[in-house]
Amino acid sequence: MTFILGSSRVTRMVSNAPKKRNESKCYGGVARIAQTVRELKNNTTNTLFLNAGDFFQGTLWYSILKHNIVSAVMANMSYDAVCLGNHEFDDGPEGLVPFLVEMQDANVTVLGTNLNTSTEPLFENASITLPRSKVYTYSGIKVALLGVVTTETITIARPGGVQILPEAHSINSEIEKLKKDNVSVFILVSHVGFDVDQKLADQCPDLDLIVGGHTNTFLYTGPPLVKVGPEGPYPFVHNRTDGTRCLIVQDYRFGMFLGFLQLQINETGNITKWSGNPILLSQNLTEDQTMLNNLEPYKKIVEAAVNKVVGSTKVLLEASGKLCRYKECNSVNLMADSFFDYYANRNSSVPEAWSIVNAAVINGGIGRDSIEQKPNVTLGDLLGAMPYDSDLVVMNISGYNLQQMFEYSVENFTWYPDLNGKFLQVSGARVVYNFSLPNGCRVVSLKVLCANCSVPVYEDVVANKTYSIVTTAFIANGGDGFKFDPSVTKRTDGVSAFDVYTQYFTKMSPIKTPEEGRVIVLDLPPRPNSTTTPEPTTNGTAMVMARDDWRSMRRDYMW
């Protein structure tokens, strides 16, 4: 009998707020995971603890402490093997290599079946190589672990010189080599998403089990213990046309559950029986005291930083519910304003110019949590609103390519399986989309502020004119799939977007940023199972403007 313990998207370091602890609504936390895994390993044999990636990003802990806190935790979690997620590449090779050095020292196997790291100098200099597989032998049966990260990482993160190769070809090539060593069971740890896992199960006919991540899919057999709707049974059994099958498991997100799967493997290497379900890491489960003690110094650093008051806001800064991915939202308006303001305050070589940039353009996915109206906004509030940092980049781009950038941001819009973060938010620009028009034709109006002028006014974007646009390195380097013509030039001073946002928030407090028609959406497809497109906001206004509303608007705000 082999026991598989799985986890994905483990970003919660410690328990929830006191209120939730008092209400017994506290779940997860690395100390609870560590203790549960240790108990299971002590009471079972042939147990593997795997993680499907995305250790970086998404928490205040990471925003403040970066790879240091992740390394400190994962070195003491008893992992047998893990794969990388796309977020491990967000800070580039320079942010990933120190973490991998720590994992190497802690004997944590980081699999890289579809990664070629020899083309990245930082990996070479640190003597980091990621094995394509790892083999265990149980009762004479050889079991191989492989690990892949989505090729989407090329466009949604910063892999630098690391080559991310097609998943299926990489898996099959490694399996063919392993077969020569009489390996008969193949387990894939994947960060590609549940839908792609099913495709890989077909494309890689030797795979017996996939422990997946990326989409944070909740699979569960029977009624779950909490109000989280399962998307399928645990494990999900993928039946192939040749009569073979591949089991697929995922266990939601935030470390709320620990995947638990028991496998019975016969002497020929076939999985004949299985059972299990994700374990809810509820408050009644013991936390590992050593882990809590190790976290305490880091916790004090984080608490001191996040409790620092940085300003105030007189308005609700909305971003929750991914609304910034399909409509204008004042939370990301404020972020864009801060980036625009940073460059507008620089001196221009053109005598009459008031700014060196025309506009700021950023992806709606940058905005995460809303900030409530309150007199004391903390750094923690800002980190929750914008947890993913990036450097600012100024692009010189033609009007034609700028319009194509906006067209791409609303191309192939869909509510399911998830809203795409590429929807653009702006400062110093005005755009109108009509979603009833086909892809590539949805931008019906695009204006930006003149820069080389003494009176800023909004002007139609002209195809053969060059504009200076500030954005993030994430977007400039191809994040969310944005691609730019070679004629587009980019420059950066290495300025942190989050630092600029924080300084602006303090300078402009109390914040009063409105929604003011910067991004107008016409004929947005209705949300599935919804009869109308708009949804009410907290103040009762419509999220998406009607066609007649935008035509009657005559307000011209600066940005």
DSSP track, 373-409: SEEEEEHHHHHHH-----BEEEEEEEHHHHHHHHHHH
Select the more confidently predicted residue: 60 or 538.
Answer: 60
Query: What is the arithmetic mean of pLDDT over 11-24?
Result: 50
Among 537, 525, 323, 544, smallest CA distance to 421 is for 323
- pLDDT for 549 beyond 50: no
User: From the CB of residue 244, how many other CB atoms can be counted at a distance below 10 Å?
Assistant: 14
Answer for the pair 397, 461: CB distance below 8 angstroms, yes or no. no
Select the more confidently predicted residue: 255 or 366.
Answer: 366
Spatial distance between the Cα atoms of 329 and 541, rounded to a whole number of angstroms: 13
Confidence of residue 555 (pLDDT cuts 50, 70, 90): very low
The pLDDT of residue 299: 94
- pLDDT for 277 beyond 80: yes
User: From the CB of residue 431, how many other CB atoms can be counted at a distance below 10 Å?
Assistant: 27
Residue identified by tokens 């110019």 is 353
545 SS3 class: coil
- pLDDT for 488 beyond 50: yes
Among 122, 132, 116, smallest CA distance to 93 is for 122
- pLDDT for 97 beyond 80: yes
Lowest mean pLDDT among 17-21, 466-470, 544-548: 544-548
Confidence of residue 94 (pLDDT cuts 50, 70, 90): very high
Highest mean pLDDT among 155-159, 266-270, 332-336, 473-477: 332-336
Highest mean pLDDT among 61-70, 123-132, 382-391, 414-423: 123-132
Query: What is the arithmetic mean of pLDDT over 492-499?
Result: 84
Q: Which amino acid is at 331?
A: S
Confidence of residue 11 (pLDDT cuts 50, 70, 90): low
Question: Side-chain half-sphere of 313: how many Cα atoms within 13 Å?
Answer: 21
pTM of the model: 0.70
Query: What is the arithmetic mean of pLDDT over 524-544?
Result: 52
User: From the CB of residue 293, how many other CB atoms can be counted at a distance below 10 Å?
Assistant: 10
- pLDDT for 278 beyond 60: yes
Q: In the chain, what are the domains?
A: 2-301 (3.60.21.10), 310-552 (3.90.780.10)
Please give the C-alpha separations between residue 2 and each of 37, 43, 97, 518, 520, in angstroms, as whole numbers.
14, 12, 32, 57, 55
The pLDDT of residue 8: 63
DSSP 448-517: EE-SSSSS--EEE--TTSEEEEEEEHHHHTTGGG----TT-EEE----BHHHHHHHHHHHHPSB-----S
- Rg, Å, the chain Cα set: 25
Query: What is the arithmetic mean of pLDDT over 195-204?
Result: 97
Query: What is the arithmetic mean of pLDDT over 424-446?
Result: 98
- pLDDT for 86 beyond 90: no
Burial of 201 from C-beta contacts in 10 A (0-12 / 13-18 / 19+) = buried
The pLDDT of residue 557: 24
Model pLDDT for residues 349-375, shown as the tens digit of each residue: 888 899 999 999 999 999 999 999 999
Confidence of residue 484 (pLDDT cuts 50, 70, 90): very high
- pLDDT for 16 beyond 50: no
Model pLDDT for residues 29-53, shown as the tens digit of each residue: 999 999 999 999 999 999 999 999 9
- pLDDT for 342 beyond 50: yes
The pLDDT of residue 336: 99
Select the more confidently predicted residue: 455 or 542.
Answer: 455
550 SS3 class: helix
Query: What is the arithmetic mean of pLDDT over 458-478?
Result: 93
- pLDDT for 58 beyond 80: no
DSSP class of 185: E
Confidence of residue 544 (pLDDT cuts 50, 70, 90): very low
- pLDDT for 558 beyond 50: no
Pairing, β 374-378 against β 309-313: antiparallel
Spatial distance between the Cα atoms of 490 and 396, rounded to a whole number of angstroms: 7
The pLDDT of residue 25: 66
